[in-house]
Structure 1
Amino acid sequence: MKRSFLLYAFILLILVNVFTYSFLSNEVKFEQGRYQRTTKKLKDSLNSLTNKLNDANYFSLEKNENAQNYFDTAVANKTIPYEKLIPVIKEKLVDLNANPKGNPYTGQDQIGANKFVINKVKVLNHRWIIADFSDGNMWGEVLLKYFVNEDESISFEVIQSLLYAK
C-alpha cells in the first residue's frame, strides 16, 4: 500500500511538473507575441502621425526651401534668417491686437461690444500668412500678404477674410 501510494504520488508529481512546464513555456511565447504585436502597432501609429504632421506642415515656411531662398540675397549682411523672421512676424501681428477697435488685419470691422483679435498665425511661405481670429462669439480666418521692407520692417495686406456663421 505504501508502495502504490508513493507510485501514485510520483506519477502525479510528474504530471504536475509537465503541465506547469508547458503552461509557463506557452505563457512566455504568448507574452513575446503580444509584445511584438504591440511594438508593431506603436511603430505604425508613430509613422502615421509623422506622415500626418509632415502633410500638415507642407505649406509652411519652415519646410519650403524655395520660400526660404527668397530671403537669401547677394548681400551677406542683408540676409534674413527665416527662423528669426517667423517669430517676429507673429509677434507684430499679435501686437496689433492692442488696437482699441481690434486688429486691423482681421479684415472685419468690430461687430458688437467685442473687438476682433488674432489668435493663431501660420506663415505659409515668403509672401502669405493665414491667421485665425475671433471676438469671443464669432470666429474667422484671414489670408494676409506680408512684405519685408528694405529697412527690415514688416508690412501686411489683407487678401481675403472669412467670418464663420454662428
Structure 2
Amino acid sequence: MKNTFMYLFIFSLLINVFLYVNSNKILKAKDAEVVRMKENLKASNVAIDSLKASDYFSIETDQDAQDYFYNKNLDYPKVMAKVNEDLNSLNTNKSGNKLVPYESIEGKPFIINKAKMLNHRWIIAEYSNSNLWGQVLIKYFHNDDKPTDFETVETVMYEKQLKK
C-alpha cells in the first residue's frame, strides 16, 4: 500500500511539473502575442491618423463647409452630386473641358477624370488627354435651378515621362 501511495505521489508530482511547464509556455506565448497585437494596434493607429490628416481638406470632414450649405437649407451630398454632374457634363465638349485652359494636343482634348470637392468653394481635379495630365484648381458657385458656375483658378501640367 505504501508503494501505491508513493507511486501516486510521484505520478501526481510529474503531472504537476508537466502542467506547470506547459502553462508557462502557453503564458509566454500569449504574452508575446499580446505584445505583437499592441505593436500592430499602434501601427494601425498611426496609419489611421495619417489617413485622417491626408483627408483633412475634404468637404466630408469640413464641418464649416457643410454648415455653409445647411445654413442655406441645402443638403451638401446633393449639392456635391449636382456639382460633380455639372463638372462632368463639361467633358462632353468636342474641344475638351473648358476648365482646362490647354488646346487639344495631337487631336486629343483634355477632359477632367477625377475631382474632389475641398470645401463649399473649391474643387481640385485631375485632367488628361491620355498622353499628358495635370491638375486644376477650380472655384465653383452652386446654383439651385441652373448649372453650377465654374472658374479656373490655377492649373499645372506635368511633363511627359520618357520610358526607360
TM-score category (smaller protein): 0.7 to 0.9
List runs of 5+ in structure 1 lacking aligned partners: 1-10
Instruction: Specify the alignment match of 1:66 in structure 2.
Output: 64
Cα separation, partners in 2 of 1:99 and 1:152, compared to 1, 3 Å = closer
The alignment covers a number of residue pairs equal to 153
2:81 counterpart (87, 92, 95): 87
> What is the CA distance between 1:21 and its match in structure 2?
4.0
- Give the residue type in structure 2 aligned to 1:122: K
TM, length-normalised to structure 1: 0.78
Instruction: Specify the alignment match of 1:109 in structure 2.
Output: 103
> What is the CA distance between 1:87 and its match in structure 2?
2.2
> What is the CA distance between 1:90 and its match in structure 2?
1.8
Contact preservation (8 Å) 1:107, 1:160: no
Instruction: Specify the alignment match of 1:149 in structure 2.
Output: 143
Cα separation, partners in 2 of 1:103 and 1:16, compared to 1, 3 Å = farther
Cα separation, partners in 2 of 1:132 and 1:84, compared to 1, 3 Å = same
Q: What is the RMSD of the two structures over their aligned residues, measured on CA atoms?
A: 2.5
Q: Secondary structure at the match of 1:106?
A: coil
List runs of 5+ in structure 2 lacking aligned partners: 1-9
Q: Matched residues in 1 for 2:13 and 2:70: separation? A: 80
> What is the CA distance between 1:122 and its match in structure 2?
0.8
Q: Give the fraction of aligned pairs with identical amino acids, expressed as a percent.
A: 36
Cα separation, partners in 2 of 1:35 and 1:64, compared to 1, 3 Å = same
